[in-house]
């Protein structure tokens, strides 16, 4: 029997090339692809332009899925107006695609990992809300927004505390770790069915999971970018592959 490699969907999205706005690339950042391959899975790109019927058909053939990072979800998806000028990189086609897809993924109990935007999509798809801008809405919060010109993906500005009884603690093998922080929004009101599993010291929600699912874990940081400086992060991708 040849070795089998679980097929892991990665939600892919449009990216405009800086030097020519007419050229658009559909893809994901390469660290996601590498992290899945290193964990023993085969990455499959799932374009957010896929017609919903086709996305549903494709789900049947996938073993697991990663909801990737990206721009902000339009606040209308959680019943709010845009309240901050910092709300940025909105893509409502992607919002709709991912919200529908994540509901379907959960219905089918397909193993899923949500990263950054993907973590926020999980909460919004189930009826939760977001802080639109941590810096202005949460007094005395830490700086979480290191997504800026010349930033380093693997810079570790703050630590998190992890619930010892969570799957996340088991996957990472620790209840305390440093993380990168490339977000200016965060989960605010938690949706039903979700459990918070990690916080930064300013009580910003940094991870969640859904105990009723085979594997539904989400994190606010970017584990795929820090597998070299925080090797425990590989546990998240291994966990996803092992759950399939
Ligand atoms: Mn953070």
- 225 annotated active-site: no
pTM as predicted? 0.96
242: annotated active-site residue: no
pLDDT of 29 reads 93
pLDDT value for 20 = 86
**Residue 194 near residue 209, CB atoms below 8 Å:** yes
**What span, in angstroms and rounded, lies between the C-alpha atoms of 172 and 48?**
30
Residue 185: predicted pLDDT: 98
> What pLDDT is stored for residue 14 in this prediction?
87
State in Å: Cα 145 to ligand 1 middle.
7
The stretches in the chain having pLDDT less than 50 are: none
Residue 224 falls in the annotated catalytic set: yes
- The interaxial angle of helices 117-125 and 92-107, nearest 10 deg, is 70
Q: 35 C-alpha to center of ligand 1: Å? A: 21
- For residues 122 and 102, the answer to whether their CB atoms sit within 8 Å is yes
User: Do the Cβ atoms of 179 and 156 come closer than 8 Å?
Assistant: yes
- Give the pLDDT score at 148: 77
Contact partners, residue 128, CB within 8 Å, separation at least 6: 78, 187, 188, 189, 190, 191, 194
Instruction: Give me ligand 1 centre to Cα 162, in Å.
Output: 13
Catalytic residue among 98, 206, 209, 224: 224
Q: Measured in angstroms, how far is the CA atom of residue 1 from the centroid of ligand 1?
A: 44
Q: How far is CA 112 from CA 30, 102, 139, 158, in A?
A: 19, 9, 33, 25
* 70 contacts: CB under 8 Å, gap ≥ 6: 13, 89, 91, 94, 116, 117
Structure tokens at 149: 């010109």
pLDDT value of position 129: 98
């Amino acid at each position: 029997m040849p070795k089998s490699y679980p097929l892991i969907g990665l939600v892919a999205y449009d990216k405009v090339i800086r030097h020519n706005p007419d050229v658009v690339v559909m893809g994901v950042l390469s660290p996601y692809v590498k992290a899945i391959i290193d964990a023993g899975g085969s990455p499959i790109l799932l374009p957010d332009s896929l017609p919903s019927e086709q996305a549903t058909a494709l789900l049947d053939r996938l073993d697991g899925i990663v909801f990737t990072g990206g721009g902000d979800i339009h606040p209308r998806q959680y019943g709010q107006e845009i309240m901050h000028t910092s709300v940025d990189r909105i893509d409502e086609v992607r919002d709709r695609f991912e919200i529908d897809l994540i509901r379907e993924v959960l219905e089918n109990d397909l193993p899923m990992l949500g990263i950054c935007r993907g973590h926020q999509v999980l909460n919004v798809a189930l009826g939760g809300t977001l802080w639109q801008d941590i810096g202005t809405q949460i007094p005395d919060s830490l700086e979480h927004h290191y997504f800026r010109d010349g930033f380093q993906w693997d810079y570790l500005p703050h630590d998190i505390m992890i619930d010892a009884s969570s799957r996340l603690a088991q996957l990472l093998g620790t209840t305390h770790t440093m993380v990168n922080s490339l977000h200016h929004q965060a989960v605010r009101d938690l949706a039903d069915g979700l459990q918070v599993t990690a916080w930064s010291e300013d009580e910003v929600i940094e991870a969640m999971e859904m105990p009723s699912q085979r594997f539904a874990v989400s994190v606010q940081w970017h584990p795929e970018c820090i597998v070299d400086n925080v090797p425990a992060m590989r546990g998240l991708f291994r966990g996803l592959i092992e759950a399939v």
